[in-house]
Amino acid sequence: MDTPLLTIGELAQRAQLGAETLRYYERLGLLAPAARSPSGYRRYTAQALEQLDFIRRAQALGFSLMQIGELLALHGRPEADMSAVRAIAAQRLAEIDAKLDDLQRLKAGLQTLLSACPGHGAVAQCPILAALRGATEAQTRHEA
């Protein structure tokens, strides 16, 4: 028995995405091009829904669309060596680690500013605002 084909609207509804997102994924090559009906409408198979689920799960892990494209290409080649998949995942982990390092620096800087601020008094004396204005402007005010 043939699997029923889905219109772009039906696929979008099942995948909980907009039709324009589906067209975008198709243009990027993340979603296999749809067959066309005699009247020119896109018709998708159930495999398209599986691809969209794959994309959604990969996005949830923070993979970029380019990385997802690479993963999908590897997924379509079961004989390929999994080292390529591992390399993409390792790259993503390194990106996450770098972001965590940046966030730790931001946290430390903000903690320093919060520690310097008594939380009361005139806003003109606020060390947080002084830091946001920049050291040179703050220094000029103190010299005056």
The model's pTM: 0.75
Please report whether residue 46 resides in a domain: yes
Is residue 141 situated within a structural domain? no
CATH assignment of the domain containing 50: 1.10.1660.10
Q: Which pLDDT belongs to residue 1?
A: 46
Q: What is the pLDDT of residue 144?
A: 56
Residues of the chain with pLDDT under 50: 1, 138
Looking at residue 131, what is its pLDDT? 92
CA dihedral of 76, 77, 79, 80, whole degrees rounded to 10: -120
Q: Are 68 and 84 in contact (CB under 8 A)?
A: no
Mention every residue, 6+ apart, whose C-beta is less than 8 A from residue 105.
none
Helices of type H across the chain? 8-15, 19-28, 46-60, 65-75, 83-116, 127-133, 135-143
Q: Which domain holds residue 39?
A: 1-62
Q: Which helix (H) or strand (E) holds 44?
A: strand 42-44
pLDDT tens for each residue of 42-62: 899 989 999 999 999 999 999
